[in-house]
Amino acid sequence: MVVQVAGAQAASRSCFDQIWNQRGEWVEAPNTRRGGESGVQRISHDGELFYSKRQTGHIYRSLLHPFGRPTVLREERALLALAELGVTVPQVVFCGAQRDLVHKWRALLVTRALDGFEEIGRWYAAGGRERHGEAVHDRLLQALAENLARMHKGRWQHSCLYIKHVFVRVTGEGESAKAEVALLDLEKCRQRLTARGAAFHDMSQLRRHSSFQDCDWGKLVYFYEAAFGSAIKGLSR
């Protein structure tokens, strides 16, 4: 597989076709929506793991793009912007889009696997909290809060902030343990006019679509508002 600096406009047809023809294990089977199909494959290359989001005719429309544009191009823009803000997200190694003779889009977004990270729900189910203890769990909540605050202070709204899109990695043991958090699935991510608008939408959505106990949610909000720099009305409920 060719690995290049992200940038859809720089993707030549030969390079695009070379990556498009790579095949791997489906980790997200193609689903039909937005007028086309989108799925994710896991690809191994030179001992490294990558995730390739493959789309055909899978588009979004906006005032800037009334005739439609592949959703991976929006996701690439968000991934690059959030990385600049210091938010932990997958690293983009290739993004490209091509139209065929009947003007149907094919699009690719390839990201490097987040080594050692796992979905937070799986981490809980595997006994991660019990194994590492409450002090490390608090660090994990703080890492999540700080990543979210950095995103929102940049006026970026995840827009699909379900708990399954939060991935965690804990390395080390005891007092030296390090807790890290990454955010995935930024296909619907967009910028809002205000940081508070982005914050309230995402944090309210996360509250609805997570199973945090009240005490844990209270800690998360405390860490979040400290990182954000002010209180967000309505988050403590």
Per-residue pLDDT tens over the stretch 83-135: 999 999 999 999 988 887 666 888 999 999 999 999 999 999 999 999 999 99
Residue 61, pLDDT > 80, answer no
**Domain endpoint, select from 67, 97, 112:** 112
55 belongs to a structural domain: yes
1 belongs to a structural domain: no
Which of residues 7 and 176 earns the better pLDDT score? 176
Mean pLDDT of 14-27: 84
Q: In what order do the strands lie in the sheet with 178-183?
A: 118-119, 166-171, 178-183
Q: Which residues pair with 191 in a beta bridge?
A: 156
50, 24: one domain: yes
24 belongs to a structural domain: yes
237 belongs to a structural domain: no
Residue 82: CA atoms inside 13 Å, Cβ hemisphere, count? 30
pLDDT at 10: 46
* Residues written for the chain: 237
129 belongs to a structural domain: yes
51, 149: one domain: no
Measured at the CA of 153, the angle between CA 150 and CA 158, to 5 degrees, comes to: 75
> Residue 4 class from Cβ within 10 Å (0-12 exposed, 13-18 middle, 19+ buried)?
middle
Q: Give the model's confidence band at 15: pLDDT under 50 very low, under 70 low, under 90 confident, else very high.
A: confident
235 belongs to a structural domain: no
pLDDT at 9: 45
Please tell me the distance from the alpha carbon of residue 60 to that of residue 24, in angstroms, as a whole number.
Answer: 26
74, 123: one domain: no
Residue position matching structure tokens 């938010």: 87
Q: For the chain, how many structural domains are there in total?
A: 2
pLDDT at 144: 98
Rg over CA atoms, the chain = 19
85, 140: one domain: no
Residue 4, pLDDT > 50, answer no
Q: Give the model's confidence band at 8: pLDDT under 50 very low, under 70 low, under 90 confident, else very high.
A: very low
Beta-sheet pairing, 118-119 with 166-171: antiparallel
> Residue 221 class from Cβ within 10 Å (0-12 exposed, 13-18 middle, 19+ buried)?
buried
20 belongs to a structural domain: yes
Q: 163: which DSSP letter?
A: G
132, 216: one domain: yes
Please check whether residue 177 is in contact with residue 130, taking contact to mean a CB–CB distance below 8 angstroms. Answer: no
94, 143: one domain: no
192, 124: one domain: yes
Residue 67, pLDDT > 80, answer no
**Domain endpoint, select from 60, 78, 112:** 112
Q: Where do runs of H (alpha helix) occur along 22-126? A: 71-84, 120-125
Residue 42, pLDDT > 50, answer yes
pLDDT at 23: 84
- At 195-226, the pLDDT tens digits run 999 999 999 999 999 989 999 999 999 999 99
Residue 1, pLDDT > 50, answer no
Q: Residue 180 region, left (φ>0) first, then alpha (ψ -120 to 50), else beta?
A: beta
Residue 185's domain comprises 118-228
CATH of the domain at 184: 1.10.510.10
150, 81: one domain: no
Which two three-digit tokens encode residue 39?
């799925």
- At 151-196, the pLDDT tens digits run 999 999 999 999 999 999 999 988 889 999 999 999 999 999 999 9
Find how far residue 161's CA is from the centre of its chain: 9
